[in-house]
Amino acid sequence: MQNQRMHSKTWHFLKLNVSVDYGSNKAGGAGESISSVLPAGKYTLTLTDNTDYSGETLMSAEEVEQLILNVGVGINIKPYTTQKIEGRISIPESGESMPVSMGVAEFVQKDDGTYERKEFGKEAINSLNPNKPVWVGIHGMNGHEDDARIDGIAQELYAYGDQAGQVVTINWEIAAQDITRTGQDAPWTKSVGEWVGQQIVAAGFSPDKVHFYGHSHGTYVSFSAASEIMRLKGGLQVNTIVALDPAGNVKALSGFDDGDIRFDSVSRNSVAIEGSWIAGSNQLAATADIAFQVDSEDTHFPWQEHGLPITTFSSILHSERFMPGQYPQALTLESLMTPISEQSMQMERNIFRGNYEGIITIDTVKTNDKYGNYYVALPRKIEWGNPNSDLNIISYINNVDATITQP
């Protein structure tokens, strides 16, 4: 549901009367939106004009009383299905609301061993089961739900079967568009995350069943979603956040303050993989319980390196499924899904470049999908600190022939 901004001084309030009232009341000329799961029944949607006409216009009280407003309100009601949940979000900085969706990711393995995602509405897809774990994948700036790199992680997790549980992906691609690449999409991340958190709770999941992986500004969305789940569930943290190159941020350019983001404050286990300078943030990566940095000799520009942690994570998941034991225990799926307080393996903290527990050295292969060219990471060495020795642990990686993420 949305209303369009009439002029810069109008301030509207949407309220949906349910057993618990839902409201949208953002300052200034914001578009308002409400997305809610509604049982069968009758509901009242109220639109209130909260504009201070006496303080912001020259209109008299009588003129205000006679004022007739023309405010567009859109209502979109669809049958509720957890296989595909659609909604809209709004922020104070914009007079429009934006679409957002969450869809279950299931795949069919083809004859050549590659995987193809099932299409909602055309193929049978299981509904979400709140008794099983769920992984929530979130793209970043100028990203897409079906970006081959983000989708590749979903495929790898799906291939783990019951161990990983279920996978859903979030699509906020319209709000995520930023042709300037200065972070203009960042203000939307809080609202996207709040929507995601509300949908996860509405689907019946307890926080300990919820695991996030996000890239760039998708890590901001992950933090916001986990924060919203904590708010709705009495302070309980989600189980996991995997932050893939958390986006760098210049508040003067983006209009967004990332100072509150700490991945370890909203999750029982958080792991960051950082890949680029400028485009990524080593400060935000360091707020995870464990952080690794990707080193690439083949790439030299931030926009090339920003996506490398995505395919690094895919490669780790793939290798550990076929040839386990090459990576530190902290990067195995079992450990990622285990609270850091319950893990036995310890790592020397912040011994690499002041922020990282380990360094992942990679080779790269250039490939492309329908959205353009990108580099795929092929890890060949990982080094991490040994708390019981002055010597670091080094493991040389034998990359298994990948049927999913590596070309």
Structure tokens that stand for 315 in this block: 């490669």
| Model pLDDT, residue 402 | 46
Do residues 141 and 216 make contact, with C-beta atoms less than 8 angstroms apart?
yes
How far is the C-alpha of 287 from the C-alpha of 267, rounded, in Å?
Answer: 11
| Model pLDDT, residue 346 | 74
| Model pLDDT, residue 268 | 98
Q: Which residues does the chain have with pLDDT short of 70?
A: 1-33, 56, 401-407
From the list 383, 386, 382, the residue with the least C-alpha distance to 397 is 382
From the list 6, 117, 4, the residue with the least C-alpha distance to 57 is 6
Do residues 330 and 349 make contact, with C-beta atoms less than 8 angstroms apart?
no
Distances (CA, A) of 248 to 33, 90, 177, 195, 245: 28, 23, 16, 23, 9
Residue carrying structure tokens 């859903």: 168
Residue-wise pLDDT tens digits, 140-169: 999 999 899 999 999 999 999 999 999 999
How far is the C-alpha of 146 from the C-alpha of 404, rounded, in Å?
Answer: 14
Helix/strand/coil (H/E/C) assignment for every residue in the chain: CEECCCCCCCCEEEEEECCCCEEECCCCCCCEECCCCCCCCCCEEEEEECCCHHHHCCCCHHHHHHCCCCCCEECCCCCCCCCEEEEEECCCCCCCCEEEEEEECCEEECCCCCEEECCECCECCCCCCCCCCEEEEECCCCCCCCCHHHHHHHHHHHHCHHHCCEEEEEECCCCCCCCCCCCCCHHHHHHHHHHHHHHHHHCCCCHHHEEEEEECHHHHHHHHHHHHHHHHCCCCCEEEEEEECCECCCHHHHCCCCCCCCHHHCEEEEEEEECCCCCECHHHHCCCCEEEEEEECCCCCHHHHCCHHHHHHHHHHHHHHHCCCCCCHHHCHHHHCCCHHHCCCCCCCCCECCCECEEEEEEEEEEEECCEEEEEEEEEEEEECCCCCCCCEEEECCCCCCCCCCC
Residue 182 φ then ψ, to 5°: -110, 10
| Model pLDDT, residue 380 | 95
Residue-wise pLDDT tens digits, 210-219: 999 999 999 9
Distances (CA, A) of 317 to 41, 95, 96, 320: 45, 41, 39, 5
| Model pLDDT, residue 15 | 57
Q: Provide CATH 3.40.50.1820 ranges for the chain.
A: 81-396
What pTM value is reported for the model? 0.87
Distances (CA, A) of 51 to 10, 27, 147: 5, 10, 42
Indicate the angle between helix axes 186-202 and 217-232, nearest 10 degrees. 40
Do residues 316 and 379 make contact, with C-beta atoms less than 8 angstroms apart?
yes
| Model pLDDT, residue 251 | 92
Q: Looking at the domain that runs over 81-396, which CATH code has it been given? A: 3.40.50.1820
| Model pLDDT, residue 36 | 74
| Model pLDDT, residue 16 | 54
Torsion sign, CA atoms 82, 164, 317, 238: positive
